[in-house]
Amino acid sequence: MNRIDEMNQLIDEITTVPQTLEMNRIKTKTKRRARIHYAMVTLRGFAIALIAFMGTLVVGVNTSPAFASYIMQIPILRELGKSVLLDKGVEEAVENGFGTEVDWICKGDRYPLYVDYVAADDTALVLFFHTDDDGGKTEFSMSADVFDGETGESIATTYYLPRYSSDGKDAILRIDWDQYYEKVRMELQAEYDDGIETYTLEFDTPEKSEAKIYTPNETFSAGQAEYRISEVRIYPLSTEIDMEYINPEEVETLWMSMTIYDEAGHQYQERESGTIIYGGDDNKHTWSLDSGYYELEGQIHLKIDSVETLEKAREIVTLDLNTMIFSDIYGPVPELSKAESEGKNQYRFKILDQMERSFNNTFNRFLDKDGEWKQLAQGGTQDSTCIILKNEDDIYIDGNNQITLERSFPDQNIDINVDILLNP
């Protein structure tokens, strides 16, 4: 008996990659988890430096407005502000009544874990916990497998920060999920310096915090593009903004910079972490912002600060291999320098100073001989970008010795400052 046919059948069963492994989702989820991870790690490191630094700083800021203004220009402090906001995002959620005090004890073989608070909404579950500072272990890393307590189905696998050092403050375990589950079972694995300890935790999830839903139904435009904000859902732990692109034929929207603020002065501008989380329909997208805006008070405003767009007719760019000049339908692309060849099918160039910021992603794809678009790889330094066209034999080179590329950076960054009152 030869079972090779049975094997082939087994292999054929796994023919399609599930929708959940779609690239945009992978990127969003990975970057989101990484941001929380970096924020937590960064926070601890900064906390110590900050205590020492604040003494000097407070005196300086209070006595000199110029100094106060100057320190806001120091990148490391802006970074600190961002990290604190992310951390505040969950901690204050609990303090403001979005979390439930639980006092659970997970008895391990050696070191117990104490869960103090749990907060949940439709987008995330957060546990605040600590170890026994007195005689217990105060440093550990942790991972968690999370299951639906009713069906046993896996909900998520989460990797927690590599090193938590208890300093009297709770550690925070955040699990992003796609819906609220009433019952949860968690298998936690804590890695201490003298070995691994496992814990099982089963619980009824505290009542979920509902989103505050606003339906502004407001339209606004940026250059040739027009948009409608249909719904804004502010959860304690994140915010989602549903947006329709009313005339997507001529212009592609690449990015938006948004701010949510209230009249008490709370303000959240999350340019880098705002992400488009899904958009099966090209004309509708949901933007997701990382922090929840639970502590907003009084009248809440959503401000669209700027929009980056690309005229669709300019998406196609050619690189002339004789002159090394990038061109589109209007002639040479003004934002790009002449390219330099760096080996076969590898070209280096600069985004010129007229762009307001640098772009890691200059081109998405190149055209192959069969008329198909193929992914290209990009690398580079702060000063220049390098694109690498793989599958060199497949590259389409036209009669004028030109290759064809798909542009992915904007031709316009439009400041619009549209202010929408969410709760009139």
Partner 1 sequence: MNDEIFFVRIEQMREKLYRIAYPYFNSESMAVDMVDEAIYRAYIKRRQLKNEAYMETWLIRILMNLCMSKYKKFKRQTGIEELPESATYADYENLPLKDAINRLPEQYRQLIILKYFGGYTVAEIGKMLEIPQGTVATRMRKALSLLRLDLS
CA of residue 236 relative to chain centroid, distance: 17
34 in contact with partner 1 (CB under 8 A): yes
Least distance between partner 1 and beta carbon 14 (Å)? 5
Least distance between partner 1 and beta carbon 3 (Å)? 5
Phi, psi of 373, rounded to the nearest 5 degrees = -90, 135
- Give the residue, chosen from 12, 18, 193, 194, that forms a contact with partner 1 under the rule CB under 8 A: 18
- Give the residue, chosen from 4, 51, 52, 66, that forms a contact with partner 1 under the rule CB under 8 A: 4
217 in contact with partner 1 (CB under 8 A): no
Judged by CB under 8 A, the stretch of 5-13, 66-74, 129-137, 325-333 that binds partner 1 is 5-13
Interaction pattern, residues 102-141, with partner 1; x per rule: CB under 8 A: ----------------------------------------
Q: State both tokens at 278.
A: 């899904």
> H or E element: which one contains 302?
strand 300-311
Please tell me the count of residues contacting partner 1 according to CB under 8 A: 39
Least distance between partner 1 and beta carbon 6 (Å)? 4
Between residues 6 and 204, which has the closer beta carbon with respect to partner 1? 6
Residue type (1 letter), 290: D
Cross-strand pairs, 398: none
Neighbours of 90 (CB within 10 A): 27
185 in contact with partner 1 (CB under 8 A): no
- Give the residue, chosen from 141, 378, 384, 412, that forms a contact with partner 1 under the rule CB under 8 A: 378
- Give the residue, chosen from 69, 217, 283, 375, that forms a contact with partner 1 under the rule CB under 8 A: 375
Kindly give, in sequence order, each residue whose CB lies less than 8 Å from that of residue 389, ignoring residues fewer than 6 positions away.
345, 346, 366, 374, 376, 395, 403
Q: State both tokens at 390.
A: 């793989």
- Give the residue, chosen from 60, 346, 380, 394, that forms a contact with partner 1 under the rule CB under 8 A: 380
CA of residue 287 relative to chain centroid, distance: 10
Residue 5 buriedness (CB in 10 A; 0-12 / 13-18 / 19+):
exposed
- Under DSSP, the state recorded for 334 is T
Between residues 225 and 339, which has the closer beta carbon with respect to partner 1? 339
Judged by CB under 8 A, the stretch of 86-94, 249-257, 331-339, 370-378 that binds partner 1 is 370-378
Between residues 10 and 213, which has the closer beta carbon with respect to partner 1? 10
Judged by CB under 8 A, the stretch of 11-19, 219-227, 304-312, 345-353 that binds partner 1 is 11-19
Alpha carbon distances (Å) from 5 to 8, 9, 13, 14, 15: 5, 6, 12, 15, 16
392 in contact with partner 1 (CB under 8 A): no
B/e letters for 108-128, b = 16+ CB within 10 Å, e = fewer, are: beebebbbbbbbbbbbbbbbb
Angstrom distance (rounded) from CA 331 to CA 235: 47
Least distance between partner 1 and beta carbon 86 (Å)? 15
Least distance between partner 1 and beta carbon 311 (Å)? 23
Between residues 172 and 251, which has the closer beta carbon with respect to partner 1? 172
Between residues 7 and 72, which has the closer beta carbon with respect to partner 1? 7
20 in contact with partner 1 (CB under 8 A): yes
Between residues 10 and 49, which has the closer beta carbon with respect to partner 1? 10
CA of residue 220 relative to chain centroid, distance: 25
Kindly give, in sequence order, each residue whose CB lies less than 8 Å from that of residue 11, ignoring residues fewer than 6 positions away.
none
Axis-axis angle for helices 75-93, 23-63 (nearest 10): 110
Binders of partner 1 among residues 136 to 165 (CB under 8 A) are 145, 152-154, 156-157, 159
Phi, psi of 370, rounded to the nearest 5 degrees = -90, 5
Give yes or no for a contact between 403 and 318, defined as CB atoms under 8 angstroms apart. yes
- Give the residue, chosen from 247, 283, 299, 360, that forms a contact with partner 1 under the rule CB under 8 A: 360
Residue type (1 letter), 96: N
Least distance between partner 1 and beta carbon 334 (Å)? 23
Give yes or no for a contact between 334 and 350, defined as CB atoms under 8 angstroms apart. no
Between residues 3 and 400, which has the closer beta carbon with respect to partner 1? 3
Q: Which residues contribute to the site for partner 1 (CB under 8 A)?
A: 1-4, 6-7, 10-11, 14, 17-18, 20-21, 23, 26-27, 29-31, 33-34, 37-38, 145, 152-154, 156-157, 159, 187, 360-361, 375-380
